[in-house]
Amino acid sequence: GENVEQHPSTLSVQEGDSAVIKCTYSDSASNYFPWYKQELGKRPQLIIDIRSNVGEKKDQRIAVTLNKTAKHFSLHITETQPEDSAVYFCAAKTGANNLFFGTGTRLTVIP
Amino acid sequence: GAVVSQHPSWVICKSGTSVKIECRSLDFQATTMFWYRQFPKQSLMLMATSNEGSKATYEQGVEKDKFLINHASLTLSTLTVTSAHPEDSSFYICSARENSGRPHEQYFGPGTRLTVT
């Protein structure tokens, strides 16, 4: 089955700086890669996703890059704000199969 | 956007009792629903995949007789934790996938925090 690894597990940045979270996956057939933001005690919220036919996608301050050859994808948050503080999960999915989640990154943005 | 609700949002029960958690897709039909559990500061672990009208598919290590899943309609799936024990205390989250539109995307419920005393 799919194995998704995520790094780092914790990340602290100063407000206004950029944050980068990286994930690798094992199944070359995976074709959908979403990123979720989860605040304490709440549901995961989809913040951005990318499909395997695209190398990069951007939505305002958030961008995701995908390298299919190396089987890794990254989340980039620019101009970070305190409200960006949360746990971020990457995930990978093959076709109609289930999502396999990374282990999560706790991002803290220091005002 | 697609909305998934869960009920109850939290529950405290005594060891040995059973607890039922409901997951509903409010504005779309979901042939497939997923059940996850999440321990503090850990990732979401898939427990089972539930398809409407058929038996759930359980992940390795998840006891199907302990975690009963029923997906009787296109908008409702239930998870029953039978004979609950303190080690079953966790945050249980369901998600649902649309039949059409954006079939890749899963919409998560708000979660149910179960505490077994």
Say how many CA atoms lie within 13 Å of A92 toward its Cβ.
26
Flag whether pLDDT at A63 surpasses 70.
yes
**Which residues in chain B show pLDDT less than 70?**
1, 99-104
What is d(CA A94, CA A100) in angstroms, rounded to the nearest whole number? 9
Cβ pair B108:A44 closer than 8 A: yes
Minimum-distance CB partner of B104 among A42, A45, A93 = A93
Structure confidence at residue A62 (pLDDT): 98
B31 touches B101 (CB < 8 A): no
Say how many CA atoms lie within 13 Å of A67 toward its Cβ.
10
pLDDT digits (tens, 9 = 90+) for B69-103: 998 888 999 999 999 999 999 999 999 987 666 66
B59 touches A99 (CB < 8 A): no
B36 exposure class (CB count in 10 Å sphere: 0-12, 13-18, 19+): buried
**A103 pLDDT band (50/70/90 cuts)?**
very high
Set of chain A residues whose Cβ sits within 8 Å of the Cβ of B34: 98-99
Q: Choose the mutation target among A3, A98, A105 for the interface with B, i.e. most B CBs under 10 Å.
A: A98
pLDDT digits (tens, 9 = 90+) for A9-56: 999 999 999 999 999 999 999 999 999 999 988 899 999 999 988 899
State how far residue A80 is from chain B, nearest Cα, in angstroms: 22
Minimal CA–CA distance to A50: which of A41, A39, A62, A40? A62
B86 touches B117 (CB < 8 A): yes
Return the structure tokens found at A12. 């602290």
State how far residue B22 is from chain A, nearest Cα, in angstroms: 15
Structure confidence at residue A54 (pLDDT): 85
